[in-house]
């Protein structure tokens, strides 16, 4: 990709950053669930029903 203006460059890179943020957030949740999967009190914070 070649960018002629700083604005073009930012339009592309900031857009990529937003996509990355979205992916990062979703994978972080998944990763946290993976890390804590075998904790006994994993759902201790949830209400007891």
Partner 1 sequence: MSHHTTPSKGFWTPANILTAVILAIGLVLTVKRFTMGIGSVTNLTDDNPWGIWIGFDLLCGVALAAGGYTTTAAVYLFGMKKYQSAIRPAITTAFLGYTFVVIALLYDLGRYYRLPYPLTIYPGPTSFLFEVGLCVALYLTVLAIEFSPALWEVLRWKRLRYYAHSLTLVLTIFGVVLSTLHQSSLGGLYLIAPSKLHPLWYSPYLTMFFFVSSIPAGLSMVIFEGGLSHKFLHHKMDDRHLAESSGVTLGFSKAAAVVLFAYFNLKWIGVALDHNWQHLATGWGAWFLVEMFGFVLVPCLMYAVAAREKNEKLAFWASILTILGIVINRLNISLIAFNWQLPAEARYLPSWEEIFITVFIITLEVTVLRICLSKLPILHEHPEFKGAH
Partner 2 sequence: MKRRKFIGMLAGAGASLAASPASAGGTHHFTGYPNSFGVLFDSTKCIGCRKCEAACNKVNDLPAQPEPFDDLSVLNARRRTKHDKFTVVNKYEVEGKPVFRKIQCNHCLEPACASACFVGAFVKDATGAVSYDAARCVGCRYCMIACPFEIPTYEYDDPITPRVRKCTLCESRVKEGKLPGCVEDCPKGALIFGRREDLLTIARERIRKHPGQYINHIYGEREMGGTSWLYISGVPFSQIGMREDLGVTPAPELTSGALSVVPAVVGLWPVFLTGAYALTKRKEKIAEEEQRHAVAEAVVETEAQAAIKLKAALDKAERDKQAAVDKAVKQALKEAEEARKQDESSDTESNKEEG
Both tokens of residue 7? 């604005």
Write down the least CB distance from residue 34 to partner 1, Å. Answer: 14
3-state SS, residue 17: helix
Pick between residue 7 and residue 38 the one whose CB is nearest to partner 1: 7
32 is a contact residue toward partner 2 (CB under 8 A): yes
Q: How far is the CB of 11 from partner 1 (least distance, A)?
A: 5
Gap between the Cα atoms of 48 and 43, Å rounded: 9
34 interface partner picked from partner 2, partner 1, none, CB below 5 to 8 A per type: none
């Amino acid at each position: 990709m070649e960018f002629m203006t700083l604005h073009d460059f930012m339009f592309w890179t900031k857009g990529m950053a937003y996509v990355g943020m979205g992916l990062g957030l979703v994978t972080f949740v998944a990763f946290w669930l993976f890390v804590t999967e075998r904790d006994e009190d994993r759902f201790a914070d949830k209400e007891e029903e």
